[in-house]
């Protein structure tokens, strides 16, 4: 995965997390919810994206070109 794709994904995820928190705060004003529950969804989204990026980097054959080199 190229660096520009990674940065684009991170920007989109951060924007989506901000929108989720903002909408969550709008909903929370009408209900009585603890604030910790509102941060759980954006944190889960960021964790999921990080997991996918790391798993893609580990499982990609093109990223292992240094493993086949003779030392």
Q: Where are the domains of the chain?
A: 3-60
Which DSSP string do the residues of 26-54 spell out, in sequence order?
A: HHHTTS---HHHHHHHHHHHHHHHHHHHH
User: Which of the pair, 61 or 46, is modelled with greater confidence?
Assistant: 46
- Other CB atoms within 10 Å distance of the CB of residue 38: 16
The listed range with the strongest mean pLDDT (4-18, 25-39, 56-70) is 4-18
| pLDDT tens readout for residues 22-54 | 887 887 777 776 767 767 878 898 999 999 988
In terms of pTM, does the model score above 0.75?
no
Alpha-carbon span 39 to 16, nearest angstrom: 12
Q: What integer best gives the mean pLDDT of the chain?
A: 81
């Amino acid at each position: 995965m190229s660096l520009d794709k990674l940065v684009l994904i991170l920007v989109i995820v951060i924007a989506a997390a901000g929108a989720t928190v903002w909408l969550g705060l709008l909903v929370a004003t009408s209900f009585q919810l603890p604030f910790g529950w509102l941060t759980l969804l954006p944190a889960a989204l960021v964790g999921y994206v990080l997991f996918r990026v790391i798993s893609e980097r580990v499982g990609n054959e093109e990223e292992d070109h240094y493993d086949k080199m003779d030392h």
